[in-house]
A and B are shown apart, each in its own frame.
Chain A
Amino acid sequence: MTELESTTADRMVEVSAETFVDRQESRSLSRETLFSVSDLTVSYGGFPALAEVSMEIHRNNITAFIGPSGCGKSTFIRCFNRLNDLIPSAKVEGTILYHGQDLYGPGVDPVEVRKLIGMVFQKPNPFPKSIYDNIAFGPRVLGMKDGLDERVERSLHQAALWDEVRDRLKESALSLSGGQQQRLCIARCLAVDPEVILMDEPASSLDPISTTRIEDLMHELKRDYTIVIVTHNMQQAARVADMTAFFSVRVSEGDGRRTGILVEYDTTQKIFTTPGDKRTEDYVTGRFG
């Protein structure tokens, strides 16, 4: 195991260093704050799963959340579109300001939030309907009925899926491959004109080629959208993200409860080359996690 780990780590550092040289100049990072998270704590049944997170997410950036299992990164990303509301025992404290408005403020309708902040899930979840109806579902329920065909086509183009499905729009979405299904889910999300796309490990169930396509797509999409991605795969974070947040687990000394905490948040380059925290360094070099 030790040998395997160290080779993985070596390779990873190498890959990420190369990646940075390549992309260095193309990165003119936007510093316009879109989300401002302060003191966010999420509890399930009274026990915090994620505690006291504060960070800012910038517009037209790709922001990655990395960290070991159970560090609360998926819980965290689900706060941005209020998907944790579906779990009765979940409680969110603190604030997430979106364009300066608290997403958890009184009078905020989660349905309205989710129109603007779309999500792509870990496992592709196409509806058991035709490819066309999958894309059209969002616009239909939101009453965007004009130019539906064009909207469907545009979304499929944006998700780099149009050429593969143009002749089979009436076929079941379930007949697509896993990678195509995930791009369909991205297209479905784009069809309702969101501003933000949340991606919860979007490539973890896909093969390497499909993964590459999704990553390329993310680079395309960040021109028009703000992307937040949770990933288990550190190379992926290094390849796609402008900013990276490293989360870890704090084990309580008393009862051994595990709570996710934000350890370090910085540019991806800094996180992977000169992290400020020992725990981040251990994680990105493969010594832990």
Chain B
Amino acid sequence: MSTGALKLEGRSGRARAKGWFFYVFLLASLAVGFIALATLLIDVFKDGIGQIDRTLITGAPNVIEPATAGAGPAILATIYLMFLLLFMAVPIGVATSIYLEEYADKTRWYNRLLDLNIQNLAAVPSIVYGILGLAFIVRGPVGIGRVLLAGAMILTLLVLPTVIIASREAIRAIPDSIRQGGLALGATQWQVIWRQVLPAAVPGIATGTILALSRAIGETAPLLLVGALSYISFNPTLLGDFTALPIQIYQWIQQDEAGFTLRAAGGIIVLLAILLTMNAFAIFIRNRYQKRW
């Protein structure tokens, strides 16, 4: 370049075509996901939007008359599950990640083993957690039976690895200079974690955690295994029989009568609304507490 004349014309047509092709490929990839999602949503809304009424949200289910069949107990149970998950998975998950990030000596083999196992657990299929729950929580040592709490416990185990990974990322993103600054003032390690690291990590922890929870709320398989029933006509209690919204939807779809399929579409919209509310809440928290360094 240094010797030749100044050349400002573009590269060869071939190089340019490659760049253009790559751009089109990116757009096409985006389109696959977007079109699939849009189709799904349009289809569900076409069938389901007319189904959203008081009966659907608060009524009890029945297997005879679709128009009067509601998902009230299921919706309530799903909301219960959500809060139980929040109160079980978040403290345990955040505490674990604080240990792993702030206290654990990473040169020790047992800490590395823990680390590796948590990564692997995040990839374990949810049905496996269901089997574990059936063996240890419903029956086995804990033996609390096929109750709502058992479902919540198993979903907690399911989301824990994801919560831990997300929280660790958030904690790791806090610069060490903040910790050193706190320690150099005579704060204890706990004071630094509680007053500096955790508040600064809240946006990351909240976002990761709520996304993990909303994922769990949509889970069906492990709940089926720990005994969520498909037909519950009364409101759930912590230690009673329960169902959940995804299971109610599944049960409706299996009915022969077309009216129930439409009811299922309505249920899906309610489930989506719950999930979107949670995600919106996550975004709100992230923006509210976000800090620049």
Contacts and interface: CB of A to CB of B under 8 A. Distances in A.
B175 to A, nearest CB: 8
A49 B271 CA distance: 60
B293 to A, nearest CB: 7
Contacts of B180: 83, 86, 119, 121, 125
Nearest to A128: B291
B105 interface: yes
A192 B185 contact: yes
Interface of A: 81, 83, 86, 88-89, 111-112, 114-116, 118-119, 121, 123, 125-128, 137-138, 141-142, 174, 185, 188-189, 192
A125 B177 contact: yes
A114 B181 contact: no
Q: What is the interface residue range for chain B against chain A?
A: 20 to 34
A111 B184 CA distance: 8
Given A125-B177, A128-B200, A128-B291, A114 B195 contact: no
Interface string B170-203: 0000010111111111111001000110001000
A141 B184 contact: no
Nearest to A139: B185
Contacts of B196: 127, 137
Contact of A125 (B107, B178, B187): B178
24 contacts: A83-B183, A86-B179, A86-B183, A88-B107, A114-B184, A114-B185, A114-B186, A115-B186, A116-B186, A121-B184, A123-B177, A126-B181, A127-B182, A128-B292, A137-B182, A137-B195, A138-B185, A138-B186, A141-B186, A141-B187, A188-B185, A189-B184, A189-B185, A192-B186
Contact of B181 (A89, A116, A185): A185
Tell me which of A123, A141, A192 has the highest count of chain B C-beta atoms within 10 A of its own C-beta: A141
B181 A111 contact: no
A127 B199 CA distance: 11
- The 3 nearest A-B residue pairs measured at CB: A115-B186, A125-B177, A138-B185
A118 B187 CA distance: 11
B177 A111 contact: no
Interface in B139-183: 175, 177-183
Nearest to A88: B105
A119 B184 contact: yes
B102 to A, nearest CB: 11
Contacts of A185: 181
Contacts of B292: 128, 174
Given A114-B185, A189-B185, A141 B195 contact: yes
Given A141-B195, A174-B293, A118 B184 contact: yes
Contacts of B293: 128, 174
Nearest to B186: A115
Tell me which of B175, B183, B292, B293 has the highest count of chain A C-beta atoms within 10 A of its own C-beta: B183
Contacts of A118: 184-185
Contacts of A112: 186
A195 B178 CA distance: 22
B26 to A, nearest CB: 35
A112 B187 CA distance: 9
A121 B177 contact: yes
Contacts of B175: 125
B200 A111 contact: no
Contacts of A83: 180, 183-184
Contacts of A127: 178, 181-182, 196
B207 to A, nearest CB: 17
Contacts of B179: 86
Nearest to B184: A119
A115 B188 CA distance: 10
A119 B185 CA distance: 8
A111 B186 contact: yes
Nearest to A198: B184
A89 B105 CA distance: 10
A137 B192 CA distance: 10
Interface in B186-224: 186-188, 191, 195-196, 200
A125 B176 CA distance: 10
Nearest to B177: A125
A96 B160 CA distance: 46
Contacts of A138: 185-187
Nearest to A188: B185
Contacts of B182: 127, 137, 141
Contacts of A126: 181
A136 B56 CA distance: 54
Interface string B25-50: 00000000000000000000000000
A110 to B, nearest CB: 8
A101 to B, nearest CB: 17
Nearest to A172: B291
Contacts of A116: 186
B188 A111 contact: yes
A234 B175 CA distance: 30
Contacts of B181: 121, 125-127, 185, 188
A125 B200 CA distance: 14
